[in-house]
Amino acid sequence: MSEFDEYETVAVEFGTIAKHVATLTISRPNARNALNGTVRSEVKMAIDALEETERDVRVLVITGDDDGGAFVAGADISEFRDRDQFDQREASTQPRIYERVADFPLPVIAAINGHALGGGCELSLACDIRVAKEGAKLGQPEIGLGLIPGGGGTQRLPQVVGMGQAMKLILSGELVDATEAEEIGLVEETHPEGEFEARLSELARTIAEKSPKALEHGKRALSASAEMNLDAGLDYELELFTSLFATKDMREGIEAFYEDRDPEFTGE
């Protein structure tokens, strides 16, 4: 038994979508894969283990159990009933799953195979790329409970869809279907049943074929663009770019280009 076989609400698989791709599936089918304390804890433990594993993982895909009929239907509201602000503050101590997913050093794809609401939408926003299946709905309906998003929605959503759309979604609580989500930039791609899985595999494989060092540096540089001014960002990009000249993968990529063949990256 490995460290990835010990979870109650999370399953981690390797190579099922594509080589060098790990899939983390949230599985609470009787609760539409809603986030409760156990899910949150086990997702964080799984990501910790993925960062430490000796397996050659280059892409992480996060999805929901198909039997749950959702990607993640939101937070488990039953946990809110008896909490006051002090209880919730303690339960919200960082790093939460959103920060752990966002900080994962390699690319993370949200495979939105069903509704992604509230905390589920926020979880998808913490990922780097979002691919949705037609029929899924996304949104931040917390306002209907007298709340606002508390998992990063007010901060990440405007960066993804712009301030006006974020205001509309958060203040109205309205949901959008996957097609509209693609139109406003909330997801990068939407595909019908039957094509969703094939495209997800193709995209994950295309990314995972690249140098893991370059993937990590590219993600770091892009993430920094949201936090740095242009001059600082350009300096940081140059630092990361030039550091890759010390890698074997860069030499392999250049030689493969001149030899007109596919490179074989090893992460060195």
- Give the domain range for residue 228: 212-258
Would residue 266 count as lying in a domain? Answer: no
Together in a domain, 250 and 141 = no
3-class DSSP state of 112: strand
Last residue of one domain, picked from the residues 190, 208, 226: 208
**Bridge partners of 63?**
25, 111
Mean pLDDT of 207-217: 96
Is pLDDT above 70 for 41?
Answer: yes
Catalytic residue of the set 42, 52, 54, 122: 122
Q: Is 142 known to be catalytic?
A: yes
Instruction: Compute the average pLDDT of residues 159-171.
Output: 97
Q: Is 180 a catalytic residue?
A: no
- CA–CA gap between residue 200 and residue 62 (Å, rounded): 11
End-to-end CA distance of the chain: 29
**Summary mean pLDDT of the chain:** 94
Place of tokens 């599985």: 27
pLDDT at 240 over 60: yes
Task: Look up the CATH number of the domain holding residue 189.
Answer: 3.90.226.10
- Total number of domains constituting the chain: 2
Q: Pick the catalytic residue: 8, 134, 142, 180?
A: 142
pTM of the model: 0.93
Residues 235 and 194 in one domain: no
Structural contact between residues 132 and 112, judged by C-beta atoms closer than 8 angstroms: yes
52, 177: one domain: yes
DSSP codes joined into one string, 159-177: HHH-HHHHHHHHHH--EEE
Assign 60 to helix, strand or coil: strand
Place of tokens 């097609």: 179
Average the pLDDT over 252-264 and give the result.
93
pLDDT of residue 1: 47
